[in-house]
Structure 1
């Protein structure tokens, strides 16, 4: 086949290449993220790839940067949101993990699996985990927690959230929401208001898949 876009196909974008690369990383691992495979899924040939990337390694580097900008960036942004109470702040944080357009846990574990084989990626994972945990600690600090307590509470919250995905728990939305009040109290030591609990439940239900 000639190294040109197939007839009848519109020009694909950098975002298209990265989207399919992410899909392959999630479903089949980094070894499946190949130029020809992505091009076949997009219906274009390699010439389109070289408009946006210098090499497969460049694609992988940009894919990792997109993951860090997206997953780590969105988690930090939600931890940094202003809130009148710590329980409201925690609800802000939880919004990023219930919104389908927020934190992508499947991509997160795809990158973590990739890191098992690549020490460079492992270093990026470590950097992101530290940044996420420190942002959550900052959330507790802003609401008057002592530094040592903020550090511990942030670790418990962050490790629980990542572990929740790792266990692939089969909970319904309503099962999980029935525990919101208890989670907020457990993570903060403060009883949330009924309005805070109900507001978060409305948000979660409106974003349920």
Structure 2
């Protein structure tokens, strides 16, 4: 059995995301998460002041790990922009979200943001950062500023929609998103 000394705040945050993904924001409760982790509720207070503190740390963690870490990995590759776009799609569709509840973790944050100002502000900032980064990469590929922004919006919107389809078994998230990226890159050559 895990103890308060063996669990990290990241363990609690991952468990909280699993609860969020499975049951919505109302499922993010210290007792329920402690049961999932097989520890006492007292262990929760070793890492967090209260549930609002946990939620704030969840949002910061999500913004950092699901956006900044991925962008930093792609930039560190120092590959040409087209290859960086492909790397970005692969990173955005890999298995790193499994400890957080899987494919629908981002969707769960979107649902949370519908009813919570802090989550909505974080989501908007994350969406903006992701779209700006894709637009920057498209610009480095030779797209005009207008087409870079439009392409970034389309590709990012497709990611959001394809996540939902893939969760229902109706899409292959990575293959479909890579196919859309290739069509977008080809459209630049056709103009």
When normalised by structure 1's length, the TM-score is 0.75
Q: What secondary structure is seen at the aligned counterpart in 2 of 1:69?
A: helix
Aligned to 1:157: 155
Structure 1 residue ranges (4+ consecutive) displaced by more than 4 angstroms after TM superposition: 175-180
1:55 aligns with 2:53: no
Distance 1:36 1:130, change over 3 A: same
Q: In proportion to residue count, which structure has more helix?
A: 2
What is the distance in 2 between the residues matched to 1:62 and 1:178? 32
Conserved in 1, the CA contact under 8 Å of 2:89 and 2:177?
no
Aligned to 2:61: 66
Matches within 5 A, 1:180-195: 180=178, 182-189=179-186
Unaligned runs of 5+ in 1: 1-7, 193-209
Aligned to 1:116: 114
What is the distance in 1 between the residues matched to 2:21 and 2:36? 15
**How many angstroms does 1:73 deviate by?**
2.0
Matches within 5 A, 1:100-139: 100-101=95-96, 105-139=103-137
Conserved in 1, the CA contact under 8 Å of 2:155 and 2:180?
no
| Range with bigger deviation, 45-54 or 8-17 | 8-17
Based on CA coordinates, which of the two structures has the bigger radius of gyration? 1
What is the distance in 1 between the residues matched to 2:89 and 2:31? 38
Aligned to 1:84: 80
Aligned residues: 182
Unaligned runs of 5+ in 2: none
What is the distance in 2 between the residues matched to 1:95 and 1:119? 31
Aligned to 2:28: 33
Aligned to 1:20: 15
| Range with bigger deviation, 91-100 or 121-130 | 91-100
What is the distance in 1 between the residues matched to 2:177 and 2:111? 30
Distance 1:22 1:52, change over 3 A: same
When normalised by structure 2's length, the TM-score is 0.81
**How many angstroms does 1:141 deviate by?**
1.5
What is the distance in 2 between the residues matched to 1:134 and 1:71? 15
**How many angstroms does 1:85 deviate by?**
5.4
Aligned-residue CA RMSD (Å): 2.8
**How many angstroms does 1:46 deviate by?**
2.5
Q: What secondary structure is seen at the aligned counterpart in 2 of 1:51?
A: helix
What is the distance in 1 between the residues matched to 2:160 and 2:140? 23
